[in-house]
Amino acid sequence: MENIYLAVIDDTALASSIYVNIALAGITLMLIAFWSRSIQNSRARLITYATMMISVVSISSYMGLASGLTIDTLVMPDGHALAGQETLSLWGRYLTWTLSTPFILLALGLMAGSTGDKIFSAIVLDVFMCLTGLAAALTTSSYAMRWFWYLLSSAFFVGVLYYLLAEWPKEAKAKGTGNIFNTLKLLTVFMWIGYPVIWALGNEGLALLNVGVTSWGYSILDIIAKYAFTIILVLYVKKEPEAITSPTGVVSATAR
């Protein structure tokens, strides 16, 4: 573990991609805690608390990466560009995504005024997407099996996209939160598409990018998909709480 920790510290790109996320998650958490003081409605507060948990999970998980606790060395299988070589696997990122992305979907589902069963279904698909992605990253017995897990993870992602692009936009429009939901939906969809792209190009996939560059790719996506997302959403909830709490289709003129 000490050697892995030193390997992280000695790689400037890798270390900076981790510590920058810890700092930004902390700043975001403090901002949300300050802004949320004026939010009184229970539904609006639930959305706010869900977004706060995104940063809480990120800080904890990135500390695991920084300490080397959730990083291991793996020997890539035959067929991989790094076959027979050891490469760092930052599998703790998948732990981060498994625990944080459900809160993003919970906040979006509540924002859209969706039902509990749809929100639950989207979250289940999301969790399986992250876990099968973890399986893709950790499989060393077969190069083909790594890509099988990758494709299975992508299939679960398609299920998540169904709710983000087909189900929830209609519900958000009916509730009167269509504009803000569409903004957050597009931000989420575009950023989340970037993760499988980085995996395919990074050291875990085709190895066109080294570990440090791969890690920074993920970190930039995290910064936008988590912290920027959180700030945009909470500022809206703070400014237009009646849009969240009003009955479907009944919103103030400023919320339209």
Model pLDDT, residue 241: 64
| Chain segment 23-75, per-residue pLDDT in tens | 999 999 999 999 888 888 888 888 999 999 999 999 999 999 999 999 999 99
| Chain segment 229-241, per-residue pLDDT in tens | 999 999 998 887 6
1 pLDDT higher than 80: no
Model pLDDT, residue 250: 43
225 pLDDT higher than 70: yes
Q: Give whole-number Cα distances, 96 to 68, 85, 119, 219, in Å.
A: 14, 26, 20, 12
In sequence order, the 6+-apart residues with CB closer than 8 A to the CB of 3 are: none
77 pLDDT higher than 80: yes
| Chain segment 113-146, per-residue pLDDT in tens | 999 999 999 999 999 999 999 999 999 999 999 9
> Whole-angstrom Cα distance, residue 207 to residue 46?
41
Beta bridge partners of 88: 73
* Arithmetic mean of pLDDT over the chain: 91
- 66, 18 Cβ separation under 8 angstroms: yes
Q: What is the DSSP string of 47-103?
A: HHHHHHHHHHHHHHHHHHHHHTTT-EEEEPPTTSTTTT-EEEE-THHHHHHHHHHHH
The pair of structure tokens assigned to 241 is 């709480």
Model pLDDT, residue 2: 53
- 200, 147 Cβ separation under 8 angstroms: no
Model pLDDT, residue 37: 86
- Percent of the chain with pLDDT strictly greater than 70: 93
Model pLDDT, residue 252: 41
Q: Report, as an integer, the average pLDDT of 209-217.
A: 95
End-to-end Cα, the chain, rounded Å: 54
Region of residue 249 (left: phi > 0; alpha: psi -120 to 50; beta: else)? left
Residue 153 vs residue 11, higher pLDDT: 153
3-state helix, strand, coil in the chain (%, to 5): 80, 5, 20
